[in-house]
Chains A and B, each alone.
Chain A
Amino acid sequence: GDSVTQMEGPVTLSEEAFLTINCTYTATGYPSLFWYVQYPGEGLQLLLKATKADDKGSNKGFEATYRKETTSFHLEKGSVQVSDSAVYFCALSDQRGRSQGNLIFGKGTKLSVKP
């Protein structure tokens, strides 16, 4: 079945460092891809999305490009801040029949940014 694989965390970086969180997926069709962020004690929030191959999603300095050839959607940010400390989830849209619209999540990657 469809699935999402994320790099294991936790990831610890110093402020202003470059961030990459790897995400690869397995899907039978052409899913939409998402990154969600979960701050401590809160629910998940959509960070960015891409709906077709070669699309680039971007928000708050984060970017991810939908790469069909490598089935990847890696999250990047050029200069992280302490406020970016959170758990990041990669997800794809389930296209199975009655499950359409449901999201399948990766296991999450915890990011800690030190001042």
Chain B
Amino acid sequence: DTAVSQTPKYLVTQMGNDKSIKCEQNLGHDTMYWYKQDSKKFLKIMFSYNNKELIINETVPNRFSPKSPDKAHLNLHINSLELGDSAVYFCASSPDRGLYNSPLHFGNGTRLTVT
């Protein structure tokens, strides 16, 4: 009964391939996020969806495309993978994007390695 679950946990692939990472939350939250953590542990927001609507799209290459089929799911599809995409990708959710003191609930991350 994991609150925020991501699959796969590890993903190793070659440059140029297309891959997807799936995320599901069973907390009933309205807002979901994708964060990227680089090799130095720096975390940066990529996308945020609220009730299936894209809210935040930070300066991310358009090779990255989030898809939210319903408010419990936010998948991340990456086209034409590059070496620099290697990182740990975290999905997160929160009850309502407007609540400043609402904490984020994170998944355990997907470690993507592009060779």
Contact = CB atoms under 8 A, between A and B. Distances in A.
Contacts of A102: 33, 45, 48, 56, 97
Nearest to A50: B101
Nearest to A108: B41
Interface in B66-115: 90, 92, 94, 96-109
Contacts of B44: 105
Contact of A110 (B41, B94, B101): B41
A105 B103 CA distance: 13
Interface residues of B, number: 29
A100 B98 CA distance: 6
Interface in A28-55: 31-32, 34, 36, 38, 41-46, 49, 51
Scoring A34, A38, A51 by chain B CB atoms within 10 A of each residue's CB, the highest score goes to A38
Interface of B: 4, 31, 33, 40-45, 48, 55-56, 90, 92, 94, 96-109
Given A43-B108, A108-B42, A108-B43, A101 B94 contact: yes
Interface of A: 31-32, 34, 36, 38, 41-46, 49, 51, 87, 89, 93, 95, 98-105, 107-108, 110
Contact of B101 (A38, A89, A93, A99): A93
Scoring A32, A42, A101, A103 by chain B CB atoms within 10 A of each residue's CB, the highest score goes to A101
